Amino acid sequence: MTFKEQIQQGIPTILPLPKPFEVNINHAPKRKDVLSDDEKKLALRNALRYFEPQHHAELIKEFAKELETYGRIYMYRFRPDYVMYARPIVDYPGKCEPAKAIMLMIQNNLDYAVAQHPHELITYGGNGAVFQNWAQYLLTMQYLSEMTEEQTLTIYSGHPMGLFPSHKDAPRVVVTNGMVIPNYSKPDDWERMNALGVSQYGQMTAGSYMYIGPQGIVHGTTITVLNGFRKIKTNPKGGLFVTSGLGGMSGAQPKAGNIAGCITVCAEVNPKITHIRHSQGWINEVIENLDELVERVALAKANNEIVSIAYLGNVVDVWEKFDQENIYIDLGSDQTSLHNPWAGGYYPVGLSFEDANEMMANNPEVFKEKVQKTLRRHTSAINKHAAKGTYFFDYGNAFLLEASRAGADVMAENGIDFKYPSYVQDIMGPMCFDYGFGPFRWVCASGKPEDLKKTDAIACNVLEEIQQNAPVEIQQQMADNIHWIKGAQENKLVVGSQARILYADAEGRMKIAKAFNQAIAKGEIGTLVLGRDHHDVSGTDSPYRETSNIYDGSRFTADMAIQNVIGDSFRGATWVSIHNGGGVGWGEVINGGFGMVLDGSAATSKRIESMLFWDVNNGISRRSWARNEGAIFAIKRAMETQPLLKVTLPNLVNDDLFES
């Protein structure tokens, strides 16, 4: 069968042969056994409902074995035989261009060069899934190949509920992930529901088909590192940034350090992902010995080198060794997947990677104790460096939250706040999100590198034009973003699809998108897919990350994210998504995203203006109402440019009134 025929087939009527377990692929760790005997039967019934009854006798034994061996039913047998990657849009079968673009984006999320655990359909973060099993993938792709512009595909936590009648201006796909009743939104609830096959953790851009590899966060990471050094009034050259995590998003850290111009040491316990990142050029060197690491860092400092070094081992050992050897750390953070601490997101010190994985599955209580003990040691070492002047920030991965739950010394004197800031509180929030700057991105559906190069040039020209009349309050942001896009090609950021990320505000996003659309209309470039990270101005309500600099008491509310996805859906998005979980853990955040296909039409130009304006200014208005100074400035400026916008502004209270 051809590729198109395999897509159109969906779930095959004749069972494919079982597939061998490929040991050279980076696989998800075994999930702990959380189901009762009756629940295991229910999980099997749930899995078998995808298949004709004549296949049940054969598949039930196989699925029961998967559940016992891996803690999940992945349906490995049904993994496609074709190579998984984002093909040019013309290679996909379908009745409408948006559906083909969505298929392209789904396959990019599962590309072996992109996905963390591709055979388990997990893109990043240890449990950020595109689908729960391969039947869901096959059925979704089949539905998309049949979809017309008068239908909308509804997806419940990876399960394609079906094609429903709608209209041309409606989203083609609406995705929800992990949207459970709040009282059932704890980590063990996710483990149980995911094992049953009824809910999944979509992370952010994993379950919304908008992941573009480590590049997806490298720009924001570069901004963070640059401004971290600016905050401590230190030149990055010769400065040392210590962190950990080389999986999905965290793999961007060493590349960002190189772009910012510092020395980066990033620890990672997983040998496979370490060597993958090294082979992809995201890190310069790999070191496995602590003494050798100390010597190498000392040499790099002496020579003011710009270099990224992966330490294959536990980051706690690095922090403690650098303390003993008086290696001064300028910036420190952590980007392990601590939203998922008991299932592969964070590894205890003193255990090999293999032994930790075995304990995680077979002795989860002891594993949890060791993780929490490690968090206490980790924090103790950080505190010692902080006392010497290190600027440490929480990278929004729930590090401080889980450390506090482990009893580590991370609380401020008031007993309420953490002693270290979130990077959103100190950098990203006041400098970017409050002014509307966030991770805008696009993908060239043609798959042509020359199209990406042309879009880079178009975006750069638009930003330089905007900068000429931009107010002083955002000149630094504009300069950083122009510098970024000019260096994008030489920094070799592409992994998987021909994609780009670029921080921009509403004005920048709309003008860039319109310029792209005009270039498509003229035949200068092919179809584009627009999107953004959920980690943005409006898309995410996350009290310990995206909305951690909301100080009016509303940071635990999720109205903004819900309003965002609803507003995007009727203003012109091609697909929309809303998730529970993402980055900081299930039950800790609500986040949403979108995709928009640009086809060069006048109708698309109108959708660009309507949707992108809302997608940014929804969040600015909320941040303004919280009395964030930059957001008040930004929303007033937005009202000046758009007469139909009328936002409630806060009246500020004089602090002196509270003294009487």
- Relative to beta strand 528-532, strand 438-444 is antiparallel
3-class SS at 145?
Answer: helix
What mean pLDDT do residues 121-126 have? Answer: 90
Q: Check whether 396 is labelled as a binding-site residue.
A: no
CA distance 607 to 598: 10
pLDDT of residue 532: 95
- Relative to beta strand 285-287, strand 307-312 is parallel
pLDDT of residue 556: 94
Tell me the sheet residues that pair with 576: 174, 594
pLDDT of residue 257: 94
CA distance 398 to 73: 28
Q: How confident is the model at residue 115 (pLDDT cuts 50, 70, 90)?
A: very high
pLDDT of residue 215: 79
159 sits in which H/E element: strand 159-165
With 0-12 CB in 10 A as exposed, 13-18 as middle and 19+ as buried, what is 445? buried
Count CB neighbours of 105 within 10 A: 26
| Lookup: tokens for 368 | 């949890």
Mean pLDDT of the chain: 94
Percentage of the chain with pLDDT > 70? 99
3-class SS at 78?
Answer: helix
Alpha-carbon distances, residue 2 vs 82, 96, 305, 457 (angstroms): 9, 20, 51, 37
What mean pLDDT do residues 29-37 have? Answer: 92
pLDDT of residue 249: 66
Residues 559-575: tens digit of each pLDDT: 999 999 999 999 999 99
User: Can you tell me which residue has the tokens 């200014």?
Assistant: 617
| Lookup: tokens for 337 | 């997947």
CA distance 125 to 561: 21
3-class SS at 332?
Answer: strand
Residues 169-215: tens digit of each pLDDT: 999 999 999 999 999 998 889 999 999 999 999 999 999 999 998 77
579 sits in which H/E element: strand 575-580
Q: Check whether 567 is labelled as a binding-site residue.
A: no
Res 248 pLDDT > 80: no
Q: Of the candidates 311, 321, 332, which has an alpha carbon nearest to the alpha carbon of residue 382?
A: 332
The domains found in the chain, sorted by start residue, are 3-196 (3.40.1770.10), 214-410 (3.40.50.10730), 434-657 (3.40.1770.10)
For residue 427, what is the DSSP state? I
pTM of the predicted model as reported, rounded to 2 decimal places: 0.90
Res 361 pLDDT > 80: yes
Inter-residue contact 133 to 197 (CB < 8 Å):
yes
Q: Check whether 248 is labelled as a binding-site residue.
A: no
Q: Check whether 311 is labelled as a binding-site residue.
A: no
Count CB neighbours of 317 within 10 A: 17
Count of residues making up the chain: 660
| Lookup: tokens for 430 | 């006041």
- SS3 per-residue string spanning 489-532: CCCCCCCCCCEEEEEECHHHHHHHHHHHHHHHHCCCCCCEEEEE
CA distance 184 to 194: 13
3-class SS at 539?
Answer: coil
CA angle, corner 331, sides to 409 and 400, nearest 5?
Answer: 30
Q: Which residues contact 623 (CB under 8 A, 6 or more apart)?
A: 433, 434, 537, 550, 630, 631
Residues 479-538: tens digit of each pLDDT: 999 989 998 888 888 888 999 999 999 999 999 999 999 999 999 999 999 999 999 999
Alpha-carbon distances, residue 612 vs 176, 520, 561, 602, 606 (angstroms): 21, 19, 15, 16, 10
Q: How confident is the model at residue 247 (pLDDT cuts 50, 70, 90)?
A: confident
CA angle, corner 453, sides to 452 and 454, nearest 5?
Answer: 90
Q: Of the candidates 224, 149, 203, 103, which has an alpha carbon nearest to the alpha carbon of residue 529?
A: 103
Q: Check whether 642 is labelled as a binding-site residue.
A: no
Least confident of 32-36, 253-257, 486-490: 486-490
Q: How confident is the model at residue 8 (pLDDT cuts 50, 70, 90)?
A: very high
| Lookup: tokens for 331 | 């910036």
3-class SS at 154?
Answer: strand
CA distance 253 to 274: 13
| Lookup: tokens for 421 | 């800031």
Inter-residue contact 314 to 347 (CB < 8 Å):
yes
CA distance 155 to 505: 30
CA distance 157 to 136: 10
Least confident of 43-52, 92-101, 234-243, 541-550: 541-550
The upper half-sphere exposure of residue 357, i.e. CA atoms within 13 Å in the direction of its Cβ, equals 13
| Residue 457 backbone phi and psi in degrees, to 5 | -65, -40
Q: Check whether 207 is labelled as a binding-site residue.
A: no
Res 278 pLDDT > 80: yes
The upper half-sphere exposure of residue 573, i.e. CA atoms within 13 Å in the direction of its Cβ, equals 25
CA dihedral sign of residues 317, 323, 326, 327: positive
CA distance 70 to 27: 10
